[in-house]
Amino acid sequence: MNNHSVTPRGGWASPVTAAMVATASNRISELIAHRGSLYWLEQLADEKGRTTIVRYCDNQTRHLLQKDFNCRSRVHEYGGGAFTLRDDTIYFVNDSDQQIYFFREGDTPTQLTDKPGCRYADLIPAGDALVAIEEDHTVDTAMPANRLVLITPKGDVITLCDEFDFYASPAWSHGKLAWLCWNHPDMPWDATCLMLAGLDDGKLLNRQCIHGGDGVSVFQPQWSSTGELVYVSDKSGWWNLYRYHQQQHQALLPMQAEFGLPQWVFAQSMYCIRGNTLYACCNQNGRQQILELDLASLTSKPVVTENIWFEYLTATDNGFACVASSSVRSGNVFVYQPNEHCITDNVQHALDEAIISKAQPLTLPSRHGDDIHANYYPPRNPAFAMQSDAPPLIVLSHGGPTAQSHPGFELKKQFWASRGFAILDVNYSGSTGYGKAYQNRLKGEWGKRDVTDVCDAALAVVEQGLADANRLIIKGSSAGGYTVLAALTFETTFHAGASYYGISDLTTLAADTHKFEAHYLDRLIGPYPEQKQRYLERSPINHVERLNCPVIFFQGEEDRVVPKSQAERMAAALDEKGIPVACLLFEGEQHGFRQAQTIIDALEAELCFYQKIFGLGEPECELEIRNLYG
User: What is the percent of the chain with per-residue pLDDT over 90, rounded to a whole number?
Assistant: 77
User: What is the percent of the chain with per-residue pLDDT over 70, rounded to a whole number?
Assistant: 97
Determine the pLDDT at residue 3.
Answer: 41
Q: State how far the alpha carbon of 575 is from the alpha carbons of 493, 536, 610, in Å.
A: 21, 22, 17
| 439-456 pLDDT per residue, tens | 999 999 999 999 999 999
Do β-strands 83-86 and 89-93 pair in parallel, antiparallel, or remain unpaired?
antiparallel
CB 323 within 8 A of CB 294: no
Confidence of residue 564 (pLDDT cuts 50, 70, 90): confident
* Helix or strand run (H / E) with residue 270: none
pLDDT of 630 strictly over 60: no
Do β-strands 218-223 and 203-212 pair in parallel, antiparallel, or remain unpaired?
unpaired
The widest CA-to-CA distance across the chain, in whole angstroms, is: 77
Determine the pLDDT at residue 23.
Answer: 77
Other beta carbons within 10 angstroms of residue 328's beta carbon come to 13
What whole-number distance in Å separates Cα of residue 509 and Cα of residue 183?
20
Window from 45-54, 108-117, 464-473 with minimum mean pLDDT = 45-54
What whole-number distance in Å separates Cα of residue 378 and Cα of residue 48?
33
pLDDT of 232 strictly over 60: yes
* Higher per-residue pLDDT: 343 or 569: 569
pLDDT of 346 strictly over 70: no
Give mean pLDDT, residues 359-376: 97
pTM: 0.92
Instruction: Name the superfamily (CATH) of residues 353-503+560-565+580-614.
Output: Alpha/Beta hydrolase fold, catalytic domain (3.40.50.1820)
Report CA Rg, the chain.
24
Give mean pLDDT, residues 116-135: 97
pLDDT of 94 strictly over 70: yes
Contacts of 592 (CB under 8 A, 6+ apart): 477, 478, 501, 556
CB 110 within 8 A of CB 103: yes
Confidence of residue 4 (pLDDT cuts 50, 70, 90): very low
The DSSP output letter for 332 is E
| 273-331 pLDDT per residue, tens | 999 999 999 999 888 999 999 999 999 999 987 778 999 999 999 899 999 988 888 87
The DSSP output letter for 541 is G
State CA 103 to chain mean position distance. 29
The residue among 116, 114, 160 whose CA lies nearest residue 136 is: 116
Which of the given ranges, 57-66, 84-93, 504-513, has the highest pLDDT on average?
Answer: 84-93
What whole-number distance in Å separates Cα of residue 275 and Cα of residue 251?
19
Residue type, 243: R
What whole-number distance in Å separates Cα of residue 534 and Cα of residue 3?
55
Contacts of 357 (CB under 8 A, 6+ apart): 377, 378, 379, 380, 413, 414, 417, 418, 423
> Angle at which helices 449-463 and 479-490 pack, to 10 degrees?
70
Confidence of residue 347 (pLDDT cuts 50, 70, 90): very low
Window from 60-64, 560-564, 566-570 with minimum mean pLDDT = 560-564
pLDDT of 216 strictly over 60: yes
CB 82 within 8 A of CB 71: yes
Q: 254 preceded by cis ω (within 30°)?
A: no
Q: How far apart are the first and last CA of the chain?
A: 41
Per-chain mean pLDDT for the chain: 92
What are the E-state strand segments in 398-495? 422-427, 472-477
The DSSP output letter for 114 is -
pLDDT of 342 strictly over 70: no
CB 313 within 8 A of CB 324: no
Give mean pLDDT, residues 381-405: 90
pLDDT of 565 strictly over 50: yes
Determine the pLDDT at residue 339.
Answer: 61
Confidence of residue 56 (pLDDT cuts 50, 70, 90): very high
